[in-house]
Amino acid sequence: MDRLSTKLNTVCNYCGSGVYTPVITSKDPSFHAEGNWTYVKCSKCGLIYLNPQPDQDSITRHYGNIRREYLNKFGLNLIFFLKRVQVRFSKRIPLMRGGNLLDVGCGEDPFLEVQKKRGYNVYGTDVDKTAREHFKKLGIEVRIGNLQNVKWSKNFFDVITLWHTLEHDVKPQETLKECYKILKDSGTLIISVPNFNSLERKIFNEHWIYLSPPRHIFQFTPESLSKVLADVGFRVYKVKYPGFSPQLWARSFLVFLEERKLIKLNSISRIFLTLVLFPFVIPLNLVSTLLKTGSVLDVYAEKKTP
Ligand SMILES: [Zn+2]
């Protein structure tokens, strides 16, 4: 169990309003950060954010503990192998040979490596310096720090991607303003986040695996993400719900059973039961994607013409 010191966040990270309504209270089913965590909806801007929030020091320590305790080398290599295959065949990125592509929150993910092979000039930014060491060996430049502090050139990138990064960000508007500055006028911004309006969240609610407190500071919907983007000068021109992700549905269902004390699982039985549940959750997964209420939300945005 991770003990995180928290502070009461009396104002919305986005608009500064102190008026809000509680929406959902949940435990951390993935990495067991101690305590209950509440998301509230800001009465002014409508965004859903975590309140109270852990301070930055304890959340940084928390990520370090996760790396040490939960992600072993074999598990990471397996995840990265599967991601490499997925990214290779994915149509989520426009093909633009010779274009400049930046991945914000790149980690050690194989995404940049695959896009380099597809012809992009690739760059990364992350707050964790292990990302820079990892990509140095592959000849890929990664700058360490928050996007607004690492100073990429203005109007330089054809494509900027944020894969499951923005929901962790305590100041998403600052990150998006910087994206606006460094993206070319003809460029594309691609953001992928968990979808708070998804069928999976509505069914499992506080047991939804993607709620993921205290790591997810914001919970976005298609509407709220479009609003945040519009506020900094972007126009959303495409919304997609990618996805074959029955493992998420199965894990949400297992969290529900575990927290109701109906079953007790270890890591082996959790993997086994996840696979057993696949035939039951795949239809739900497909229906939610068809109804445009998928668990993951991808938005494609461009700069509004002045
Ligand atoms: Zn607000």
Residue by residue, DSSP assigns 88-118 as: HH--SS---TT-EEEEET-TT-THHHHHHHT
Contacts 24+ apart (CB under 8 A), 111-117: 111/83, 111/87, 111/161, 111/163, 112/138, 112/140, 113/84, 113/138, 113/140, 114/84, 114/87, 114/88, 115/87, 116/140
CATH fold group of domain 6-71+146-303: Rossmann fold (3.40.50)
CA of 44 to the centre of ligand 1 (A): 5
CA of 12 to the centre of ligand 1 (A): 5
CA of 237 to the centre of ligand 1 (A): 24
CA of 30 to the centre of ligand 1 (A): 27
**Per-residue pLDDT of the chain in tens (306 residues, 90 and over written 9):** 556 766 667 789 899 999 999 999 998 877 777 888 999 999 999 999 999 988 777 777 777 677 666 656 556 666 666 666 666 666 667 766 779 999 999 988 889 998 998 889 999 999 888 889 889 999 999 999 999 999 999 999 999 999 999 999 989 999 999 999 999 999 999 999 999 999 999 999 999 999 999 999 999 999 999 999 999 999 999 999 987 788 889 999 999 999 888 888 887 888 889 899 999 999 999 999 999 999 999 999 999 976
Helices 267-290 and 246-259: angle between axes, nearest 10 degrees:
120
What does the alpha-carbon distance between residue 29 and residue 259 come to, in Å, rounded to a whole number?
A: 9
CA of 230 to the centre of ligand 1 (A): 15
pLDDT for residue 72: 60
Contacts 24+ apart (CB under 8 A), 281-286: 281/246, 281/249, 281/250, 281/253, 282/246, 284/199, 284/200, 284/203, 284/249, 285/243, 285/244, 285/245, 285/246, 285/248, 285/249
pLDDT for residue 73: 59
pLDDT for residue 143: 96
CA of 47 to the centre of ligand 1 (A): 6
pLDDT for residue 103: 97
pLDDT for residue 141: 96
CA of 227 to the centre of ligand 1 (A): 12
List residues bridging with 159 in a β-sheet. 101, 188
CA of 290 to the centre of ligand 1 (A): 31
The domain limits of the chain are 6-71+146-303
